[in-house]
Amino acid sequence: MRIVTGGVLHETSTFAGGKTVVRDFESGIGFARGRELFDKFRGANFCCGGFIDGAEQHGFELLPILWAFAFPSAVIERASYDLLKNEFLDGLRRELANGVDGVLLDLHGAMVVEGIDDGDGDFMASVREVVGPDIPIIVTTDLHANHAPLRVASANAIIGYDTYPHIDMAERGREAADLIVRAIRREVRPTSALRQLPLFWSAACQVTAHPPIDEAFRLIHEVESRPGILSATLSTGFPWADIPQMGASIIVVADGDQALAQRTADEIGDWIWSRRERWFKTPLTVHEAIVSGQQSGRFPILLADMSDNTGGGAAGDSTEVLRTFVELDLPDALVLYMVDPDVAQQAHTAGIGARLRVEVGGKSDPVQGPPVPLDVEVLALSDGRFRYDGPMYAGVNGELGASAWLRQRGVNVVVVSVRMQPLDQAFARSLGIDCSAMKYISAKSAVHFRSGFEQLGGPIFNIDARAIHSHNFASLAYRRRRPMWPLDPIAST
Distance, CA of 76 to CA of 374 (rounded, Å): 36
pLDDT of residue 19: 96
Using one digit for the tens of pLDDT, what is the confidence trace for 39-95?
Answer: 999 999 999 999 999 999 999 999 999 999 999 999 999 999 999 999 999 999 999
pLDDT of residue 471: 87
Name the residue with higher pLDDT: 26 or 91: 91
Straight-line distance from the first to the last Cα atom of the chain, in angstroms, rounded to the nearest whole number:
43
pLDDT of residue 396: 86
pTM attached to this predicted model:
0.91
Using one digit for the tens of pLDDT, what is the confidence trace for 356-375?
Answer: 999 999 999 999 999 999 99
For the cut 80, the answer to whether the pLDDT of residue 28 exceeds it is: no
Contact predicate 124/90, CB 8 Å: no
Residue 359 identity: E
- Give φ, ψ of 152 to 5 degrees: -65, -30
> What residues have CB less than 8 Å from 402, skipping those under 6 apart?
341, 344, 345, 348, 381, 382, 383, 384, 416, 417
Contact predicate 117/243, CB 8 Å: yes
Give the residue from 247, 308, 299, 282 showing the smallest Cα distance to 446.
308
pLDDT band, very low/low/confident/very high, at 282 (cuts 50, 70, 90): confident
Q: Tabulate helix, strand, coil % of the chain (nearest 5).
A: 35, 25, 40
Within 13 Å of residue 296, how many CA atoms lie on the same side as its CB? 18
